[in-house]
């Protein structure tokens, strides 16, 4: 039976939503997009370095989710499936362009239509000097993340920025958990090496 947006509370899992969409409930798709759009943009933008390209990648991700809905099975978490699609498209985008970003990802805010992008934390009580210091620190962190090799950057973003589990990351990247953990350790060490001289 088709649902309505009001029916899709937190008790309706992502997997259940996708099964409903697969089985013909058109109203489930906008809810899937609502739940994942900003999360995926937040991840992809740190990998491709450009907001417009990140939004294109996420749009293509949802197109592929739509096209492949009939193939969806609950053998894995929906989040693993959708992140895998997004990261594969992002890798192709990175391969197809050598142009580096010219704006700081940490500076993108609501004024550019980010719909509450990650790390844009308004604080009315914050003094201007504190706001400047916070922006400078974020720009510094962003530069260090950007300088990591892609295999470390991806894992660092998925784990420390997006908060995914090692199990989810292993499923998304098709790697053993032990490999993910060792790369995560190397990524954090390299990140620390890059950051320390700048502090």
Architecture of domain 1-98: Orthogonal Bundle (1.10)
Residue 151, classified by CB atoms within 10 Å of its CB into exposed (0-12), middle (13-18) or buried (19+), is: middle
Q: Which tokens go with 164?
A: 């995914």
Pick the CATH number of 125-199 from 3.20.20.70, 1.10.10.10, 3.40.50.1000, 3.30.70.1230: 1.10.10.10
For the segment 76-105, the average pLDDT, to the nearest whole number, is: 75
Confidence of residue 120 (pLDDT cuts 50, 70, 90): very low
Whole-model pTM over 0.85: no
Confidence of residue 101 (pLDDT cuts 50, 70, 90): very low
Q: CATH 1.10.10.10: which residues of the chain?
A: 125-199
Confidence of residue 118 (pLDDT cuts 50, 70, 90): very low
* pLDDT value of residue 195: 81
Residue 117 has pLDDT above 50, yes or no: no
């Amino acid at each position: 039976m088709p649902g309505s947006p009001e029916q899709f509370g937190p008790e309706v899992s992502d997997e259940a939503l996708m099964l409903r969409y697969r089985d013909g409930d058109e109203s489930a798709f906008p809810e899937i997009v609502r739940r994942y759009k900003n999360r995926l943009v937040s991840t992809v933008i740190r990998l491709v370095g450009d907001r417009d390209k990140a939004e294109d990648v996420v749009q293509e991700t949802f197109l592929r989710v739509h096209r492949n809905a009939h193939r969806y099975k609950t053998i894995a978490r929906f989040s693993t499936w959708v992140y895998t699609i997004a990261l594969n498209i992002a890798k192709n985008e990175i391969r197809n362009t050598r142009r580096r970003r010219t704006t700081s990802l940490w500076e993108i805010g609501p004024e550019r239509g980010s719909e509450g992008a990650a790390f844009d934390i308004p604080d009315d009580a914050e003094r201007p000097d504190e706001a400047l210091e916070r922006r400078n620190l974020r720009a510094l962190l962003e530069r260090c993340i950007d300088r990591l090799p892609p295999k470390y950057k991806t894992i660092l973003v998925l784990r420390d920025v997006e908060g995914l589990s090692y199990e989810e990351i292993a499923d998304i990247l098709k790697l053993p958990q032990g490999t993910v953990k060792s790369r995560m350790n190397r990524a954090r060490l390299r990140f620390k090496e890059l950051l320390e001289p700048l502090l």
